[in-house]
């Protein structure tokens, strides 16, 4: 590191890592500045958040620059004596830094226009928590020893906890925050123990030492399971997902965007770092386990997303689905790696990384879109929204692009990663194990089912919020997003479009990363055919999003022109057809519950449903349906009861009288003396 | 990209656009004959399209631009789909831009837009139609993908032209995996094209309709485009079926003669397929909407079994 050891006067000699650490420090400074401007909303919103956004842009530029560069290391003499913080910038961290920086830029711009007066935590404090959150995510990704990693991981969890509970006077938000904090810490214990196993009794907790250790299969598998538990709790894999649909919707929308879009990806980073970097040689059943867990998570997430009636909860469940897809891709990568098939592993890993990036953009976009809707209407409940495309067209059209990307439709970003993932499943029959060969098509079928259900969910999400007639009077007066909000959304939507149209160029950027992790890359075949994405050979598969878009747009334009030229453009506006029943109103439209009904019927065993049906004699008939989670009732509540019972047993010791405590001390003393004497 | 490739590409698009309504007319004629009715003229679909194009469009007062744009988008998607499926020749310049997975994505794209447009006006029927269309879609789409994957596993490729070339050169034996895939594909095509037993193209019975509920608010040129797109979709599905299960006769060589020969072969195959579809529709009864998920789940499972069989016996 030049900044501390060498010539730090001349910025030209600084390494990328120095600049990135400087940017993280800059974010921290912005946060501190927020403390001094605690209640001055204009200052916080118009200066601090935009500057933070610019830092995000700079971060993504620097990370992009260092994606293919050799790794850089730094040791900062802060932390405990004898335990300095080690940092390292390699391709893996550079990729995730790019993700954090680019998404944070858009979300910060949106946040500049989002926060208003009188929403729980004062704006200056929110700026502090927000920027500590960003900086700690950067440092998590850069950390090169277990100590620094855990410190940053915990500050990330704490900062995000305070952000989640920004509206801390609402009881549900308090509960959501508590649950989040609890699961985050149980997960952190898993990660800590994993590092303990990885250092193999050497007492040296640097990642360099862990990389050098040759663990026996037993200990390697132990480390694998601990890491899966720890990072899985952060990512929200089934059955550790229960906090996610509570905590993500509870936060203010820009924070939800960061939680779902970016923070979940730090868990993916951790998984990749440990499975492919620190644990050098994977065992095949790890991949199978990850694949199974990932598929279960994806299916669970998408089914629950389809039956939600709260727009932010719907998106949170959709994040669980995407995390499942990412985990199944990582599982497939591990399977290929364990069977020594680097080109296939590179294909699957590219799909994972691409999907991580794509999900970061479209999910952040959708969350900030719900934020704009929430501001304009004050409503999160899908049953009270509708018709907003007419009062807030700008948000509607931008969200539509996010919805298309999220539904995995060509030519947008979500489709590219889905396409690559399905391609890697199709190549799987080369695996030398008959059992795996048989399981892979079933897995591919599940992926296809999940993708199709995601389309269903997204049509419901967009259709119920933005289309149809307003279900409430006040919705007609909703206002479109402000200019800062538009700027942020435009940046995020730009990301979705670029990811969709230029996969060849972007995969060339990811190439050095897959080369270091699994020993092969896609770049030379992918770039061969110019604008066509060719993962292996052009006879096997190819996809050209730009030609695809031009094809659809061209036939659209041609059809439009021909119809106009050959016929006419006569148009008349009239009331919609009312089937001869003139008393129809907006409440008679299909609802979000109605749209979820087929899914509830088909997947009934998955869901814990409670229904109240009206009888013909009710004066005010009411229909109520609530969908609960089996895991919560079968796993978490019994667990909580056991903990409660144990705690009350231990509570017997606490009599609250000083004589009893003196007795305890006395007995302990006697016991110790007895032991020492022998 | 050769000049012949460009010619066959253009020929394919034009042929699809022109023949698609004719295929619909042919099927309707046969349905009428099989049901002892006097049949409408073969060219009736063209007359209907012409009539609709000439009429003015009546738009709901609060319909958004999405509603007006959707017919063009759906029509564009279906035109592009018929361009990338090898029907006449495997030498198509547009084909590398989209493989089998992207083709399924293209159909999904069209479906999402028509469903959103149906929700736009906010009448009960439109939204109900959108919900049912998406219900059929989310079950049919993975099934179609699995059918295509069965063929992909045989030819070790997802590129449609490679699949057709490989399958056309195999021995004249029945692949067990393709047999499963064929049954699944037939079921999926019936559902996706709103045919009996899933939906009835001739009905306007409010409680059962799916496709008609979706397009209930459309009129004039918008309706014409949607009707044309629907017939293009049927044409495209028929061509996928022909390309996967009866790929013989599609031109591969760079020869104009083969291209010329491919045309009558295609028309013959489509004519036979149309008769079979009419027979199938006449012989089956429409099922309740609640039974449709079972029907499509069966198709999905059959397609997955097809893939498994392929891996088990490598054929």
Cβ contact B127–A594 (<8 Å): yes
Using a CB cutoff of 8 Å and minimum separation of 24, what contacts does A221-226 make? A221/A283, A221/A286, A222/A197, A223/A194, A223/A197, A223/A198, A223/A274, A223/A279, A224/A274, A224/A275, A224/A279, A224/A283, A224/A286, A226/A190, A226/A191, A226/A193, A226/A194, A226/A197
Residues of B in contact with A393 (CB under 8 A): 64
Closest among A227, A56, A55, A24 to A143, alpha carbons compared = A24
State the Cα–Cα distance between residues A17 and A6, nearest whole angstrom: 14
Tokens 């204009």 label which residue?
A42
> What is the rounded average pLDDT of the residues A438-447?
88
Q: What is the DSSP letter of A659?
A: H
Measured CA angle at B163 (ends B160, B169), to 5 deg:
140
Complex confidence, ipTM: 0.95
Could you give the 3-state DSSP secondary structure of residue A449? helix
| Per-residue pLDDT band at A585 (split at 50, 70, 90) | confident
Average pLDDT over residues A327-345: 92
Cβ within 8 Å, pair A589-B127: yes
Residues of B in contact with A544 (CB under 8 A): 96-98
Give the global pTM: 0.94
State yes or no: pLDDT of B299 exceeds 90. yes
- Residues from chain B that touch A568, judged by Cβ atoms under 8 A, are 54, 56
Quick check: B157 and A540 CB within 8 A? yes
Q: Which of A437, A442, A573 sits opposite B61 (nearest CB)?
A: A573
Q: Lowest-confidence range among A302-306, A577-581, B108-112, B119-123?
A: A577-581
Question: Does residue B74 sit at the A interface (CB-CB below 8 Å)?
Answer: no
Q: With CA atoms as reference, report the closest residue to A556 among B79, B13, B224, B66.
A: B79
Is the bond into A81 cis (omega within 30 degrees of 0)? no
Task: Extract the tokens encoding A432.
Answer: 């030398």
User: Mean pLDDT across chain A, nearest whole number?
Assistant: 90
- The predicted pLDDT at position A168 comes to 84
Number of helical H runs and strand E runs in chain A? 28, 5
Residue B172 has pLDDT above 90, yes or no: no
Q: How far is CA A196 from the centre of its chain?
A: 27
Q: What is the CA radius of gyration of chain A?
A: 27
A263 Cα to chain B: minimum distance (Å): 29
Distance CA B232, CA A554 (A): 17
CB-nearest partner of B58 from A429, A574, A595:
A574
Asked if pLDDT for residue A512 goes beyond 60, the answer is yes
Separation between Cα atoms, residue B144 and residue A434, nearest integer Å? 25
Instruction: Kindly determine whether residue A589 and residue B293, on different chains, have CB atoms separated by under 8 Å.
Output: no
* Cα end-to-end distance, chain B, whole Å: 33
Contacts of B82 in chain A (CB under 8 A): none
Cis omega (within 30 of 0) for bond into A411? yes
Position B88 confidence tier, pLDDT thresholds 50, 70, 90: confident
A chain contacts of residue B116, beta-carbon cutoff 8 Å = 400, 459, 462-463, 467
Q: Do A554 and B59 touch (CB under 8 A)?
A: no
pLDDT digits (tens, 9 = 90+) for B49-72: 999 999 999 999 889 999 999 999
- Whether B225 contacts chain A with CB within 8 A: yes
Rounded Cα distance between B247 and B254, Å, is 17
Mutate to test the interface with A, among B9, B100, B121, B156 (most CBs of A within 10 A): B156
CB contact under 8 A, B138 and A453: yes
Residue B259 — pLDDT band, cuts 50, 70, 90? confident
> Which DSSP string do the residues of B77-109 spell out, in sequence order?
HHHHHHHHS-SSBS--TTGGG--HHHHHHHHHH
Q: Which residues contact A419 (CB under 8 A, 6 or more apart)?
A: A543, B101, B102, B105
Q: Residue A178: what pLDDT?
A: 93
- Chain A neighbours among B 9-68 (CB < 8 Å)? 53-54, 56-62, 64, 66
* A572 → closest Cβ in B58, B96, B121: B58
Structure tokens at B120: 């736009």
Cβ(B147)–Cβ(B303) below 8 Å: yes
Q: How many whole angstroms separate alpha carbon B64 and alpha carbon B235?
A: 30
Q: How confident is the model at residue A1 (pLDDT cuts 50, 70, 90)?
A: very low
Residue A310 has pLDDT above 80, yes or no: yes
Length of chain A in residues, anyone?
A: 678
pLDDT tens, position by position, A132-178: 999 999 999 999 999 999 999 999 999 999 999 988 888 999 999 99
- Tokens at residue A431, please? 């695996």
The CA distance from B271 to the nearest CA of chain A, in Å, is: 27
Tokens 């656009």 belong to: B17
What pLDDT band is residue B135 in, cutting at 50, 70 and 90?
Answer: very high
Contact between A13 and A7 under an 8 Å Cβ cutoff? The reply is: yes
Q: Which residues contact B134 (CB under 8 A, 6 or more apart)?
A: A455, A456, A459, A460, B111, B115
* Mean confidence (pLDDT) of chain B: 90
Rounded distance between C-alpha atoms, residue B128 and residue A616, angstroms:
24
With bands split at pLDDT 50, 70 and 90, how would you rate the model's confidence at A474? confident
Torsion of CA B169, B172, B177, B182, to 10 degrees: 90
**Residues A524, A535: Cα–Cα separation, whole Å:** 9
Mean pLDDT calculated for residue range A259-286:
92
**What backbone torsions phi and psi does residue A84 show, to the nearest 5 degrees?**
-70, 160
Structure tokens at A667: 């007995």
Q: Where are the beta strands (DSSP E) in A28-108?
A: 72-80, 83-89
Other CB atoms within 10 Å distance of the CB of residue A486: 18
Is B49 within 8 Å of B227 (Cβ atoms)? yes
Beta strands in chain B (DSSP E): 57-60
Q: Do A532 and B156 touch (CB under 8 A)?
A: no
| Closest CB from A445, A542, A579 relative to B99 | A542
């Amino acid at each position: 590191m030049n900044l501390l050891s060498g010539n730090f006067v001349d910025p030209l000699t600084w390494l990328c890592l120095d600049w990135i650490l400087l940017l993280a420090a800059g974010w921290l400074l912005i946060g501190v500045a927020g403390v001094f401007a605690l209640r001055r909303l204009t200052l916080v919103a118009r200066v601090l958040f935009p500057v933070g956004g610019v830092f995000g842009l700079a971060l993504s530029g620097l990370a992009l620059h260092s994606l293919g560069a050799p790794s850089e290391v730094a040791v900062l003499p802060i932390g405990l004596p004898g335990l300095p913080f080690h940092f390292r910038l390699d391709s893996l961290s550079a990729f995730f830094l790019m993700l954090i920086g680019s998404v944070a830029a858009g979300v910060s711009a949106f946040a500049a226009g989002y926060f208003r007066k009188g929403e729980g935590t004062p704006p200056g404090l929110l700026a502090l928590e927000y920027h500590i959150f960003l900086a700690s995510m950067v440092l998590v990704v850069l950390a090169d020893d277990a100590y620094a990693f855990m410190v940053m991981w915990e500050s990330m969890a704490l900062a995000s906890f305070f952000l989640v509970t920004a509206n801390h006077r609402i009881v549900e938000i308090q509960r959501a925050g508590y649950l989040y904090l609890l699961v985050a810490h149980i997960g952190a214990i898993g990660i800590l123990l994993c590092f303990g196993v990885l250092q193999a009794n050497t007492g040296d907790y640097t990642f360099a030492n862990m990389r050098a250790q040759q663990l026996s299969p037993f200990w390697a598998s132990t480390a694998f399971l601990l890491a899966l538990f720890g990072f899985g709790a952060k990512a929200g894999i089934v059955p550790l997902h229960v906090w996610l649909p509570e905590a993500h919707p509870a936060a203010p929308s820009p924070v939800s965007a960061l939680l779902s879009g970016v923070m979940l990806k730090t868990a993916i980073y951790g998984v990749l770092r440990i499975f492919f970097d620190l644990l050098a040689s994977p065992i095949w059943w790890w991949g199978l386990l990850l694949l199974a867990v990932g598929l279960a998570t994806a299916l669970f997430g998408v089914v629950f997303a389809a039956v939600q009636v709260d727009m932010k909860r719907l998106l949170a469940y959709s994040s669980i689905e995407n995390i499942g897809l990412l985990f199944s891709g990582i599982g497939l990568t591990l399977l290929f790696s364990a069977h020594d098939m680097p080109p296939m592993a590179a294909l699957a890993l590219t799909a994972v990384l691409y999907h991580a990036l794509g999900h970061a953009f479209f999910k952040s976009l959708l969350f900030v879109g719900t934020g704009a809707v929430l501001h304009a209407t004050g409503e999160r409940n899908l049953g009270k929204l509708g018709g907003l495309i007419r009062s807030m067209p700008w948000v509607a059209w931008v969200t539509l692009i996010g919805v298309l990307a999220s539904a995995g439709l060509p030519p947008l970003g979500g489709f590219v990663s889905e396409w690559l993932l399905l391609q890697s499943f199709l190549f799987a029959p080369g695996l030398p194990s008959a059992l795996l060969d048989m399981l892979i098509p079933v897995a591919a079928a599940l992926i296809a089912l999940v993708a199709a259900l995601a389309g269903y969910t997204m049509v419901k999400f967009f259709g119920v919020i933005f289309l149809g007639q307003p279900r409430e009077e006040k919705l007609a007066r909703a206002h479109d997003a402000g200019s800062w909000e538009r700027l942020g959304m435009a940046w995020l939507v730009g990301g979705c479009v670029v990811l969709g149209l230029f996969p060849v160029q972007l995969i060339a950027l990811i190439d050095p990363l897959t080369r270091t992790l699994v020993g092969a890359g896609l770049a030379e075949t992918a770039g061969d055919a110019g604008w066509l994405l060719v993962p292996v050979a052009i006879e096997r598969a190819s996809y050209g999003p730009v030609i695809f878009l031009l094809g659809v747009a061209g036939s659209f334009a041609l059809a439009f022109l021909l119809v106009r030229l050959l016929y006419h453009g006569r148009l008349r506006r009239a009331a919609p057809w009312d089937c001869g029943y003139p008393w129809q109103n907006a409440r008679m439209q299909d609802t979000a519950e109605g749209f979820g009904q087929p899914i509830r019927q088909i997947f009934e065993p998955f869901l814990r449903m409670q229904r109240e049906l009206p009888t013909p004699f009710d004066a005010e008939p009411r229909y109520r349906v609530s969908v609960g989670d089996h895991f919560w009732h079968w796993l978490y509540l019994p667990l909580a009861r056991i903990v409660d019972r144990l705690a009350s047993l231990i509570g017997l010791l606490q009599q609250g009288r000083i004589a009893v405590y003196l007795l305890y001390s006395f007995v302990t003393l006697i016991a110790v003396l007895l032991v020492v004497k022998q | 990209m050769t000049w012949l490739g460009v010619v066959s590409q253009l020929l394919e698009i034009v042929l699809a656009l022109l023949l698609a309504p004719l295929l619909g007319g042919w099927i309707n004629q046969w349905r009428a004959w099989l049901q002892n009715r006097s049949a409408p003229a073969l060219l009736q679909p063209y007359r209907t399209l012409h009539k609709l194009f000439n009429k003015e469009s009546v738009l709901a007062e609060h319909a958004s631009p999405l509603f007006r744009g959707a017919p063009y988008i759906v029509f564009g998607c279906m035109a592009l789909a018929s361009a990338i499926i090898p029907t006449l020749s495997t030498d198509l310049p547009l084909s590398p831009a989209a493989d089998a997975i992207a083709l399924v994505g293209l159909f999904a794209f069209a479906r999402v837009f028509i469903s959103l447009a149906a929700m736009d006006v906010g009448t009960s029927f439109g939204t109900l139609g959108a919900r049912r269309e998406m219900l059929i879609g989310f079950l049919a789409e993975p099934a179609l993908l699995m059918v295509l994957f069965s063929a992909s596993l045989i030819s070790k490729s997802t590129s449609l032209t490679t699949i057709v070339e490989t399958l056309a050169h195999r021995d004249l034996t029945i692949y067990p995996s393709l047999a499963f895939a064929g049954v699944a594909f037939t079921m999926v095509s019936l559902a996706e094209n709103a045919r009996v037993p899933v939906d009835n193209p001739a009905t306007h019975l409010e409680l059962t309709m799916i496709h008609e509920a979706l397009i209930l608010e459309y009129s004039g040129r918008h309706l014409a485009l949607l009707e044309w797109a629907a017939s293009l979709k049927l044409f495209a599905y028929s061509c996928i079926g022909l390309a996967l299960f009866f790929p013989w006769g599609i031109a591969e060589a760079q020869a104009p003669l083969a291209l010329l020969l491919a045309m009558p072969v295609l028309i013959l195959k489509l004519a036979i397929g149309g008769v079979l579809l009419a027979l199938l529709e006449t012989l089956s009864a429409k099922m309740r909407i609640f039974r449709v998920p079972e029907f499509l789940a069966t198709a999905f499972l059959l397609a997955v079994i097809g893939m498994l069989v392929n891996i088990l016996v490598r054929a």
